[in-house]
């Protein structure tokens, strides 16, 4: 091992001292920053991961859309399913409706699904909390959980559905009465927007309400595991008519994903400041060390140590503190993530807010997902910042002339 690394290690971990104060305090600052980054990025990643799953569960991995409507959709479904990597496709029709129950009205999206094929593409049944998808017919609907709660509707109730077609035909002296439908299920997807404004009905019900005839608005496509969504969308586009296009879910929800990424990046940079503040503390400690060890620095020069190596000795101390703090921070962070739900449970119990938590966040457990790339980014950033903190002390040490350093009092 080069002498400057050996000396850096020895100065951080002097012989016979297990917990050198300066090293432990400096590393602790970095560790706290890394711990927070791991926990917060893990939980945010968990939310994003769940949301992405929810999107692909409800919309498929590829969406096929037309400028207006897709006519002859069975043929389009057949073509799409013939593409390599496509597992299944299912048609849908979706638009705004007004629903009324008693004196309460809401304006959700009513999504018509093909009961014969929907389960092969979107596993909706697993989100149905009350009732069952198999109970759905052309005179019934499934309400999303918050929408049902807002209306006060339960399974078995009958509600009125007003479609846009009614408004369109008002001027034509035609009378279109609202459709009376039964509630046969309550569905909870876990996403605020979907759970507060979505109604599921059959494809035929939606076609009737929107006056679509035999056309549909689009197709949801499920891919075989491991197939790249963008590549699959490109292959599907090759077999589609000119006015019908396929989009990967990333393209379809690009704005939403952009906002998710923006939030994630902003949080990362904000929490990074904890590591930066810790790095200033490391720098300050190393600067004091340079002043305190001025005569030792002179000695190293007198023994033939080159200024660059003297600098490397102090820079390496920043690096070692960064590595130690990052390792401790990762260990603490992953421990924190492992016990996150116990912590949430304890906080909600102590504050008696378990129900509030469920009502507002639609979960009783904190999700967590941390990719290897994110862990590597956190670790690399913390280590690089700590190493950079050693640069100024290293520069000061390298500039010292041995003869002056040895003379210093």
Binding site for another protein (CB under 8 A): 2-3, 6-7, 10-11, 14-16, 295-296, 298-306, 309, 401-403, 406
Contact 294, 401 (CB under 8 A): no
CB of 390 to another protein, least distance (A): 17
Between residues 155 and 406, which has the closer beta carbon with respect to another protein?
A: 406
Between residues 126 and 399, which has the closer beta carbon with respect to another protein?
A: 399
Between residues 39 and 313, which has the closer beta carbon with respect to another protein?
A: 313
Contact 257, 87 (CB under 8 A): no
Between residues 4 and 101, which has the closer beta carbon with respect to another protein?
A: 4
Chain centroid offset of residue 211 CA: 38
Strand-pairing partners, residue 160, are 100, 180
The first and second tokens of residue 293, run together, are: 């060890």
Between residues 353 and 401, which has the closer beta carbon with respect to another protein?
A: 401
The first and second tokens of residue 258, run together, are: 């952009």
Spatial distance between the Cα atoms of 215 and 28, rounded to a whole number of angstroms: 63
Spatial distance between the Cα atoms of 71 and 139, rounded to a whole number of angstroms: 24
Spatial distance between the Cα atoms of 50 and 266, rounded to a whole number of angstroms: 20
The first and second tokens of residue 267, run together, are: 């949080």
Sequential DSSP letters for 303-314:
TT--HHHHHHHH
CB of 394 to another protein, least distance (A): 17
Between residues 26 and 326, which has the closer beta carbon with respect to another protein?
A: 26
Between residues 36 and 398, which has the closer beta carbon with respect to another protein?
A: 398
Closest residue by Cα to residue 247 from 225, 259, 222, 229 = 229
CB of 273 to another protein, least distance (A): 32
Between the alpha carbon of residue 179 and those of residues 59, 100, 206, the distances in Å are 26, 10, 11
Q: Are strands 104-106 and 140-144 parallel, antiparallel or unpaired?
A: unpaired
CB of 286 to another protein, least distance (A): 15
Q: Buried b / exposed e across 104-130, counting CB within 10 Å, b at 16+?
A: eebebebbbbbeebbbebbebeebbeb
Strand-pairing partners, residue 176, are none
CB of 290 to another protein, least distance (A): 14
Between residues 2 and 72, which has the closer beta carbon with respect to another protein?
A: 2
CB of 26 to another protein, least distance (A): 16
Helix (H, G, I), strand (E, B) or coil at 175: coil
CB of 282 to another protein, least distance (A): 18
The first and second tokens of residue 250, run together, are: 């990333």
CB of 383 to another protein, least distance (A): 23
CB of 406 to another protein, least distance (A): 7
Between residues 145 and 289, which has the closer beta carbon with respect to another protein?
A: 289
Q: Which segments of 61-141 does DSSP mark as H helices, in order?
A: 73-81, 118-121
């Amino acid at each position: 091992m080069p002498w400057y690394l050996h000396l850096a290690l020895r100065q951080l971990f002097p012989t016979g001292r297990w917990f050198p104060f300066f090293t432990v305090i400096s590393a602790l600052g970095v560790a706290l920053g890394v711990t927070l980054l791991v926990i917060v990025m893990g939980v945010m990643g968990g939310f994003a991961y769940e949301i992405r799953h929810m999107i692909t569960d409800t919309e498929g991995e590829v969406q096929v859309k037309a400028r207006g409507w897709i006519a002859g959709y069975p043929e389009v479904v057949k073509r799409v399913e013939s593409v390599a990597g496509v597992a299944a496709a299912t048609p849908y029709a979706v638009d705004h409706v007004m629903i009324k129950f008693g004196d309460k009205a809401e304006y959700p999206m009513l999504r018509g699904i093909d009961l014969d094929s929907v389960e092969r593409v979107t596993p909706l049944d697993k989100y149905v909390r009350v009732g069952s998808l198999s109970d759905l017919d052309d005179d019934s609907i499934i309400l999303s959980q918050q929408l049902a709660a807002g209306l006060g509707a339960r399974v078995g109730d009958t509600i009125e559905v007003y479609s846009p077609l009614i408004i369109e035909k008002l001027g034509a002296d035609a009378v279109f009465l609202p459709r009376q439908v039964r509630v046969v299920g309550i569905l909870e997807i876990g996403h605020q927007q979907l759970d507060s404004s979505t109604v599921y009905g059959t494809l035929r019900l939606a076609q009737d309400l929107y006056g679509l005839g035999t056309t549909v608005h689009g197709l949801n496509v499920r891919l075989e595991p491991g197939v790249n969504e963008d590549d699959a969308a490109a292959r599907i586009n090759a077999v589609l008519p000119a006015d019908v296009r396929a989009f990967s879910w990333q393209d379809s929800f690009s704005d939403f994903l952009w906002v998710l990424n923006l939030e994630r990046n902003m949080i990362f940079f904000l929490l990074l400041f904890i590591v930066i503040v810790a790095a200033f503390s490391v720098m300050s400690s190393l600067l004091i060390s340079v002043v305190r060890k001025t005569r030792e620095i002179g000695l190293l020069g007198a023994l033939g140590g080159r200024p660059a190596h003297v600098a490397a000795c102090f820079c390496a101390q920043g690096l070692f503190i960064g590595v130690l703090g990052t390792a401790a921070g990762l260990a603490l962070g992953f421990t924190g993530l492992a016990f996150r739900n116990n912590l949430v449970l304890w906080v909600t119990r102590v504050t008696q807010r378990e129900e509030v938590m469920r009502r507002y966040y639609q979960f009783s457990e904190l999700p967590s997902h941390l990719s290897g790339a994110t862990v590597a980014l956190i670790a690399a950033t913390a280590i690089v910042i700590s190493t950079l903190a050693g640069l100024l002390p290293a520069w000061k040490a390298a500039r010292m002339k041995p003869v002056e350093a040895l003379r210093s009092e």
